[in-house]
Amino acid sequence: MRNGALQGAAWTAAKCIYGMYADEEEARNIAALDGEKDDPGEHDEADELVEVAEEALPPMAAGVPLESIPTNGAAGDGTSGHANPFDPLGLGKATMDLWKAMLANPQGLLAGQMEFAKSMLELSGRSLGASGRGEPLIGPAPDDRRFTHPAWTQNPAFDAIKQGYLLATKAVLDSIEGADTDAETKARVSFFAKQYCDMLSPTNFAFLNPAVIEETLRTGGENLRRGVKNALEDIRENRGRPALVDKKAFTVGQNVATTPGNVVYRNDVLELIEYTPTTETVYERPLVIVPPWINKYYILDLQPANSIIKFAVDSGIRTYVVSWRNPDASMADFTWQQYLKHGPLTANRIASAITRSPDVNVIGYCIGGTLTAEMLAYLAQSEEVLVNAVTFFAALTDFEEAGDLRAFLGPEALSTIERKMDEKGVLDSSEMADTFNMLRANDLIWNVAVNRYLLGKDAPAFDLLYWNSDATRLPRAMHSYYLRNMYVENNLVKPGALKFKDVAIDLRRVKNDVYAVATIDDHIAPWKSVYKMTQLFSGETQFRLGHSGHIAGIINSPASGKGNYWRAASNPPTADEWLASAQKVDGSWWPDWMRWLSERSGERVAAPASPGSKHFKPKAPAPGTYVLEKA
Q: Per residue in 8-46, pLDDT tens?
A: 333 333 333 223 333 334 333 443 434 344 443 444 433
Q: Which contiguous run of DSSP H or E holds residue 106?
A: helix 106-127
pLDDT tens, residue by residue, 429-487: 877 777 778 878 888 899 999 999 999 999 999 999 999 889 899 999 999 999 999 99
Report whether pLDDT(67) > 50: no
> How far is 285 from 303, CA to CA, in rounded Å?
26
Domain-embedded: residue 238 = no
Report whether pLDDT(102) > 60: yes
| Rounded percentage of the chain residues whose pLDDT exceeds 90 | 70
Which has the minimum average pLDDT: 16-20, 126-130, 346-350, 543-547?
A: 16-20
- Residue (of 295, 334, 343) closest to 61 by Cα position: 295
Same-domain check for residues 385 and 498:
yes
Give the pLDDT confidence score for residue 266 in this predicted structure.
98
> How far is 109 from 303, CA to CA, in rounded Å?
53
Which has the minimum average pLDDT: 132-141, 254-263, 413-422?
A: 132-141
Same-domain check for residues 273 and 400:
yes
| Rounded percentage of the chain residues whose pLDDT exceeds 70 | 86
Same-domain check for residues 297 and 379:
yes
The CATH number of whichever domain residue 621 belongs to comes to: 3.40.50.1820
Q: 124 CB contacts (<8 Å, ≥6 apart)?
A: 160
Domain-embedded: residue 341 = yes
How big is the chain by its Cα radius of gyration, in Å?
Answer: 26
Same-domain check for residues 100 and 53:
no
Same-domain check for residues 398 and 308:
yes
Domain-embedded: residue 309 = yes
Same-domain check for residues 370 and 503:
yes
Give the pLDDT confidence score for residue 105 in this predicted structure.
87
Give the three-class secondary structure for 97.
helix
Give the pLDDT confidence score for residue 133 in this predicted structure.
65
Structure-model confidence comparison of residues 307 and 124, the more confident one? 307
Domain-embedded: residue 474 = no
> How far is 366 from 291, CA to CA, in rounded Å?
7
Give the pLDDT confidence score for residue 620 in this predicted structure.
98
Structure-model confidence comparison of residues 241 and 3, the more confident one? 241
Which has the minimum average pLDDT: 211-220, 347-356, 403-412?
A: 403-412
pLDDT tens, residue by residue, 266-309: 999 999 999 999 999 999 999 999 999 999 999 999 999 999 99
Give the pLDDT confidence score for residue 14 in this predicted structure.
35
* Confidence band, pLDDT 50/70/90 cuts, at residue 567: very high
Which has the minimum average pLDDT: 180-189, 337-346, 487-496?
A: 180-189
Same-domain check for residues 270 and 391:
yes
Domain-embedded: residue 482 = no
- Answer whether 65's CB lies under 8 Å from 432's CB: yes
Which has the minimum average pLDDT: 26-40, 320-334, 388-402, 544-558?
A: 26-40
CB atoms inside a 10 Å sphere around CB 439: 21
Give the pLDDT confidence score for residue 408 in this predicted structure.
81
- Residue (of 422, 544, 425) closest to 473 by Cα position: 425
- Answer whether 432's CB lies under 8 Å from 471's CB: yes
Domain-embedded: residue 240 = no
- Residue (of 377, 372, 405, 412) closest to 539 by Cα position: 377
* Confidence band, pLDDT 50/70/90 cuts, at residue 130: low
Report whether pLDDT(347) > 80: yes
Domain-embedded: residue 166 = yes
Average pLDDT, the chain: 86
- Answer whether 362's CB lies under 8 Å from 348's CB: yes
Same-domain check for residues 19 and 111:
no
Q: Last residue of some domain: 174, 202, 230?
A: 202
pLDDT tens, residue by residue, 139-198: 999 889 999 999 999 999 999 999 999 999 999 999 999 998 888 889 889 999 999 999
Same-domain check for residues 269 and 189:
no
Give the pLDDT confidence score for residue 62 in this predicted structure.
38
> How far is 537 from 391, CA to CA, in rounded Å?
13
Which has the minimum average pLDDT: 25-34, 341-350, 399-408, 597-606?
A: 25-34
Give the pLDDT confidence score for residue 10 in this predicted structure.
37
Give the pLDDT confidence score for residue 58 in this predicted structure.
32
Q: Last residue of some domain: 202, 218, 240?
A: 202
Domain-embedded: residue 48 = yes
Q: 132 CB contacts (<8 Å, ≥6 apart)?
A: 126
pLDDT tens, residue by residue, 513-524: 999 999 999 989
* Confidence band, pLDDT 50/70/90 cuts, at residue 83: low
Same-domain check for residues 337 and 386:
yes
Strand-strand pairing, 281-283 and 360-365: unpaired
Q: How many distinct structural domains can be found in the chain? A: 2
Same-domain check for residues 397 and 506:
yes
Q: Last residue of some domain: 202, 219, 235?
A: 202
Per-state percent for the chain, helix, strand, coil, to nearest 5: 50, 10, 40
Structural domain for 376, as ranges: 13-57+252-405+492-628
Give the three-class secondary structure for 526.
coil
Active site amino acids: 366
Same-domain check for residues 269 and 353:
yes
Report whether pLDDT(53) > 80: no
